[in-house]
Amino acid sequence: MDLHTPDLAPINFQDIIVERPVERVGLIRLNRPQALNALRSQLMEELINALQSFDHEATIGAIVITGNDKAFSAGADITEMANATLTDMLNRGMIERWRQLRNIRKPLIAAVSGHCLGGGCELAIACDIIVASETAKFGQPEINIGVIPGAGGTQRLTKAVGKSLAMEIVLNDRRLTAEEALRYGLASRIAPLDQYLTDAISLAAQIAARAPLGVQMGKEAINKSFEMSLADGMSYEEKLFYILFASEDQKEGMRAFVEKRKPVWRGQ
Q: Return the active site residues.
A: 76, 119, 122, 142
The amino acid occupying position 1 is M
Q: What is the pairing mode between strands 176-177 and 137-139?
A: antiparallel
DSSP classification of residue 6: P
Q: Which is nearer to ligand HXC, 62 or 157 (CB)?
A: 157
Q: Are 57 and 9 in contact (CB under 8 A)?
A: no
What sign for the dihedral angle of Cα 9, 11, 16, 22? positive
User: 9, 35, 165, 228: which one contacts ligand HXC (CB under 6 A)?
Assistant: 35
Closer CB to ligand HXC, residue 61 or residue 114? 114
Q: Which is nearer to ligand HXC, 124 or 201 (CB)?
A: 124
Angle, CA 222 vertex, CA 199 and CA 176 arms, to 5°: 55
Closest CB 118 distance from ligand HXC, rounded Å? 3
Smaller CB distance to ligand HXC: residue 150 or 267?
150
Q: Taking CB under 6 A as the criterion, which residues in 138-157 touch ligand HXC?
A: 141-142, 144-145, 149-151
Among the listed residues 142, 136, 106, 141, the one whose alpha carbon sits nearest the alpha carbon of residue 124: 136
DSSP character at residue 39: B
Residues 84-143 binding ligand HXC (CB under 6 A) are: 95, 115, 117-119, 122, 141-142
Stretch that binds ligand HXC, among 20-28, 33-41, 105-113, 202-210 (CB under 6 A): 33-41
Residue nearest ligand HXC, Cβ-based: 118
Nearest residue to 67 (alpha-carbon basis) of 160, 133, 7: 133
The strands making up 25-30's β-sheet, listed across from edge to edge, are 16-19, 25-30, 62-66, 108-112, 129-133, 189-191
Write down the least CB distance from residue 97 to ligand HXC, Å.
9
Least distance CB 179 / ligand HXC (angstroms): 19
Which residue ranges make up the site for ligand HXC (CB under 6 A)?
Answer: 35-36, 38, 74-79, 95, 115, 117-119, 122, 141-142, 144-145, 149-151
